Amino acid sequence: DHIFEKVNPEMEKLGYECKCLGGGKIEHNSKDKKIRVFGLSTGYGKADHSVTVELLKKEYADYEITWSDDKK
C-alpha cells in the first residue's frame, strides 16, 4: 500500500482515477535473467499475478518470468 498511497495522488493530479486491485512482490534477478511474482498485500489482498507477468514479458522478453501464490 505504500507505493499506491504515494503514486495515487500524482495520478489523480493528471486526471486519472486509480483503484488498487491487489498487491504482491516482484523478485528480479538480472544476473540470471529471472523474475518471480508472488505474495500479496496485507491491505489489498493478492493481485492477479498472471496479468503482472504478461505486462513484464513485454519489457523483459528475454527473461524467464514466473508467478506463484507463495507468500515468500
pLDDT digits (tens, 9 = 90+) for 2-24: 889 999 999 999 999 999 999 99
Global confidence as pTM: 0.81
pLDDT digits (tens, 9 = 90+) for 53-69: 999 999 999 999 999 98
**Assigned domain for 10 exists:** no
Residues of the domain holding 28: 21-68
Measured CA to CA in angstroms, residue 57 lies from 15, 50, 64 at distances of 28, 11, 9
**Assigned domain for 14 exists:** no
**Assigned domain for 53 exists:** yes
**Assigned domain for 9 exists:** no
Q: What CATH number is associated with residue 58? A: 3.50.20.20
Tally of domains in the chain: 1
**Assigned domain for 58 exists:** yes
The H or E element spanning position 27 is strand 25-29
HSE toward the beta carbon, residue 65, CA cutoff 13 A: 17
**Assigned domain for 4 exists:** no
Number of helical H runs and strand E runs in the chain: 2, 3
